[in-house]
Amino acid sequence: MNPTAGMTLYTEFEDVAYSPYGVPFARGKENASSDNQFLLTRQQCKERGIDVHYDAKIRSIDVGSHTLTVQGEGVVRYDRLVIATGWEYADPDLDQGGLRGIFEVKDIRRTTEWDTYLDTVKEAVVVECGPITLEIVSALIQRGIKTTVLDPSSSQTPDAVDPDIMAPVRKAWEDAGVTMLCGQVTAFGGDGTLSHVETTSGSIPAQLAIIGTRKVSNNSLARAAGIELGRTGGIVIDSHMRTSARNVFAAGDCVEVQRGVSGIPSPGLSASHAYAQGKAAGLNAAGGNREYQPMYVPWATPTGDWIVGGVAFGETSATASGIKFVSGAAKGITRARYYPGVKPITVKLLADPVTHRLIGAQMVGGEGVKERADFLGVAIRAGVTIEDLATMENVYSPAIGALNEPINLAAQEVMKNF
C-alpha cells in the first residue's frame, strides 16, 4: 500500500509468523516437526525489510503523544499504530505453586519443550473444556496418556458447540478411556513436579495439567492507554479497524467485532478472521480504505476421527443471545454408502422463523466440514433461505459425494419445523 513507509514490529516472543494452530497436532505427533510451521524465519524477515524487535516488551502506549515506551529502547514515536496483542487463556485463578507439568498451549517454543515432557507423562488433566480442548484431548489420546477433562458445566462442551453435535466426540473420547468430570480444580499438588490435581470431585493423579479455559482478549496495554474496550473485553473497532484513539488500529484476537445476523459485538477469537482483519488494519494504517464487514465466523476443528464445525449461531449460542430460530438436523454421509472411506456427517441448520433465512449451522462429521462451513457462511451473508437449501442441487459421484447432500437433508428437516 505504501512501500516507502518504514515499519517496525515488536513482539515479546522469539519468533514471528508461525502457525500456533498446528501446535496441538505437533503434540499428537501427526505433524513430525514444528519447524515447518514457520512462515518466515528471522533471516527471511530481514530480507523482506521487516524490522522485527524480538523479545521486546512494550511498557505502555501514549495515544496523546503518539509514542510507545519499549523496555530497553525508551520512547518510540509512531505515525500509525496497529495493536495485535492477541488473546490469552481466561485466568483460572489458581496457584500453580511453581510446579513443573502445568502448561498452556500457546507459545510454540514452550510447547516444543512440552513435547519432550509429554513422553514422561502417564496421566493428564485438562482444566475446562474450551475450544483448544477439542484438539488437545485427541492429541493426548494418540500419545497414550490417560486423560481427565474437568469442566464446571454439566454439558462439558465449548460454548460454540451444541451438546448434540458434541455427543459423538464425547463418545469417542470415552471409548478411548477419557474421563469427563464435572467439577473445578481446587489445588495442584506435587513435589517440584505435578503429581495430582485436587478437584471438587476428588483427587486425580496427573503429571500434566493443561489450562484449556476459554480465550479472552489480551487487552492490558490498550486498557492502560485508555483505548475503548467493549463488553466482551475486546478492543472496540470501527469498520476500518480504527480504535477510539486517533491513528491507532487493532486487529485479531484482541478486538471485538460485529457479528452478522445479530449485530451483537463478539470477541474476535478465530484465526480465520484475524487474518482478514490484519490485512484490513495494515492497509488502512498505511493510507488505504478497506472495510471489514460483520462476520459470520465459519469454524471447524478436528478432534480425533471427528471434525466439529459450524458458522454463526448454534442452538446454544442463539438461545444465549435471545435470537429466535427454527432448527432441523439430518444425519448424512460424505460418499456413496458402499464407497471406501465413506464417513458420517450430521448437519444442523438454524433459520429465522419469519424470513426463513439461514442464521447458523452446526456440524460433526468425518470429512468435508470446513468446506460446508465456508459455504454456509457465504450463504448466510447472501441471505439464502432454507427453501433455497432444500432445493439445492448437489454433486453425486460415489467416491466423493453421496446422492443426498446432508445440507439439503437438514434444510428439509427445518422446513418441517416452520
Residues that bind a second copy (CB under 8 A): 19, 21-22, 25, 30-31, 36-37, 270-273, 275-276, 293, 295-302, 307, 309, 336-340, 368-375, 377-379, 381-384, 388-389, 391-401, 403, 405, 407
> Which residue lies nearer to a second copy by CB, 101 or 298?
298
Q: Which is nearer to a second copy, 73 or 388 (CB)?
A: 388
- Rounded to a whole number of angstroms, the minimum distance from the CB of residue 387 to a second copy is 11
In the complex, the smallest distance separating the C-beta of residue 199 from a second copy, rounded to whole angstroms, is: 30
Which 3-state string (H, E, C) describes 169-200?
HHHHHHHCCCEEEECCEEEEEEECEEEEEEEC
- CA distance readout (Å), 350 to 326, 377, 385: 6, 12, 10
Across-strand partners of 126? 149, 210
Antiparallel, parallel or unpaired: β 81-83 and 248-250: parallel
| Closest CB to a second copy among residues 89, 375 | 375
- Please report how close the Cβ of residue 332 comes to a second copy at its closest, in angstroms: 12
The x, y and z cell numbers of residue 90, run together, are: 481466561
- Closer residue to a second copy, CB minimum distance, 194 or 297: 297
- Beta carbon of residue 203, minimum distance to a second copy (angstroms, whole number): 35
Beta carbons of 332 and 406 less than 8 angstroms apart: yes
How far apart are CB 57 and a second copy at their closest, in Å?
28
Cβ count within 10 A of residue 284: 23
Tell me the closest approach of the beta carbon of residue 145 to a second copy, in angstroms: 20
Whole-number minimum distance, CB 11 to a second copy, in Å?
Answer: 19
Indicate the residue among 205 and 398 with the shorter CB distance to a second copy.
398
In the complex with a second copy, the residue whose CB is nearer, 287 or 383, is: 383
Angstrom distance (rounded) from CA 123 to CA 120: 10
Cell of 398: 460415489
For the chain, the C-alpha Rg in angstroms (whole number) is: 23
**Helix, strand, coil share (%) of the chain residues, nearest 5:** 25, 30, 45
H or E element in which residue 24 lies: helix 23-27
Q: 107 or 405: whose CB is closer to a second copy?
A: 405
Write down the number of H helices and E strands in the chain.
Answer: 11, 25
- Provide the CB-side half-sphere exposure for 145 (13 A, CA): 28
Closest separation in Å from C-beta 18 to a second copy: 10
CB closer to a second copy, 230 vs 398: 398
Q: How far is the CB of 43 from a second copy (least distance, A)?
A: 19
Which of residues 59 and 357 has its CB atom nearest to a second copy in the complex?
Answer: 357
φ/ψ of 225, rounded to 5, equals -85, -5
Cα–Cα distance for residue pair 291/107, rounded to 1 Å: 31
Point out which residues pair with 358 in neighbouring strands.
351
